[in-house]
Structure 1
Amino acid sequence: MAQDFRDLRVWEEAMQLAERVYALAGRLPREERFGLSMQMRKAAVSVPSCIAEGNGRSSLADYLRFLSMARGSLSEVQTQLLLAGRLGFLSPDDVDAALAQARTVGMLLTGLRRALASKTA
């Protein structure tokens, strides 16, 4: 396990995704401020937060559980981005760029999870 979660590339990528989602959510219509916009932001913040919290836990099982929660939040972000695109709130290019970044985070999460799980085998 990394000594500090800030040393993890997956955490840094997830932080960048959260920043992007915040910027995109700010473009949604005003009436979505307490709806889709807030949901997108909460899910995006949850991804790096779960990575950090898992890293700070004392057991490998807890770490893996928090990485699983990060994966779930990442799926929420992807769904919400797709919905915002379908509703015409975001351009296809903006959605595609954010989803590409989300895929990178997902691959890094999978890699970290596999590396940690191999320590329990």
Structure 2
Amino acid sequence: MYIYFFKKLDVWKEAIQLAVKTYKITDLYPSEEKFGLISQMGRCSVSVPLNIAEGTTRLTNKYKACFTTIAYSSSLELLNQTIISKELDFISEDNYKNMRLDLESMTHKINALRNHFLNSLNILF
């Protein structure tokens, strides 16, 4: 069986695990949040590995960097939704800290991947 490049990336593996964790945690949220935070957190947590995977298929490093930027932005969106969840007491302190640590690790790796693509273009933002 062929192994796609994105499946070899630790950051993609972390993103998949964080998406699964997000779904498990939000499963405990109040049912009235089904179309609010639950839906938004699910969509943006899935957006991260999807954009990493899609970015690796692009032919130019410029487009690869663009998709990693989108993945990074979705990660920060998830971070903010996690903070709001904590403020609303939808998420425990332990789950909040674990999500935060996972997000910090993942965003550092996404940023490193993006910088790798940008450096190959000799462009820094």
* 1:60 to partner: Cα distance: 1.0
The 2-side partners of 1:106 and 1:44 are apart by 12
Which residue pairs with 1:87 in the alignment?
Answer: 88
Paired AA for residue 21 in structure 1: T
The 1-side partners of 2:34 and 2:25 are apart by 12
Q: TM-score, normalised by structure 1?
A: 0.95
The answer as to whether partners of 2:72 and 2:107 remain within 8 angstroms in 1 is yes
User: Any runs of at least 4 consecutive aligned residues in structure 1 with deviations exceeding 6 A, and if so which?
Assistant: none
The answer as to whether partners of 2:62 and 2:117 remain within 8 angstroms in 1 is no
The 2-side partners of 1:119 and 1:22 are apart by 36
Q: Map 1:98-113; keep pairs closer than 5 Å.
A: 98-113=99-114
Identity across matched positions, percent: 32
Q: TM-score, normalised by structure 2?
A: 0.92
The 1-side partners of 2:20 and 2:103 are apart by 12
Instruction: Give CA-to-partner distance per residue, 1:3-41, whole Å, 9 cap, x none.
Output: 611011110011111111111111100110111100000
Give the count of matched residue pairs.
Answer: 119
RMSD, matched Cα: 0.9
Q: Secondary structure at the match of 1:67?
A: helix
